[in-house]
Amino acid sequence: MTRGLAGALARAVLLIGLVGAGAAGAHGLLERAEPRPGATVRTAPAAVRVWFSERVELAYSSVRVFDPAGRQVDGGAAALDAAGPRVLRVALPPLAPGRYVVRWRVLSVDSHVTEGEFSFRIAP
């Protein structure tokens, strides 16, 4: 094999590896949320909205909100928000002051499942 052909082949293999690595790292990760993780709000939110780095498969994704006693208080199944296919929204009833935990689990369109949680506080 000539040196030029060997170099071109090596560059092609490296490029394929880099492209594959980028695709493998593209999971549906939490980008931001409303209320913000760790925030203290004065007014109870009517909903929790979470933004992800990838589009999510709604049928296999969830957002749940738990009160200070650990009871689930959200309005049921999460829905895609009007902001787009990367944003999930779950409705909330009127909430009392206290610390609330939001647990999310999403299947992104790249077929990877990610999950996590954060909390926010409603001031008295």
Tens digits of pLDDT across the chain (124 residues):
556 555 544 444 443 443 443 444 567 899 999 999 999 999 999 999 999 999 999 999 999 999 999 999 998 899 999 888 999 999 999 999 999 999 999 998 888 999 999 999 999 9
Based on C-alpha coordinates, what's the Rg of the chain? 20
Instruction: Confirm whether 103 is domain-assigned.
Output: yes
> pTM score, two decimals?
0.77
Instruction: Confirm whether 115 is domain-assigned.
Output: yes
Is there a contact between 74 and 92 (Cβ–Cβ < 8 Å)? Answer: yes
**Domains in the chain: how many in total?**
1
Dist CA 11 CA 88 (whole Å): 41
Dist CA 33 CA 24 (whole Å): 24
Q: What residues make up the domain containing 47?
A: 27-122
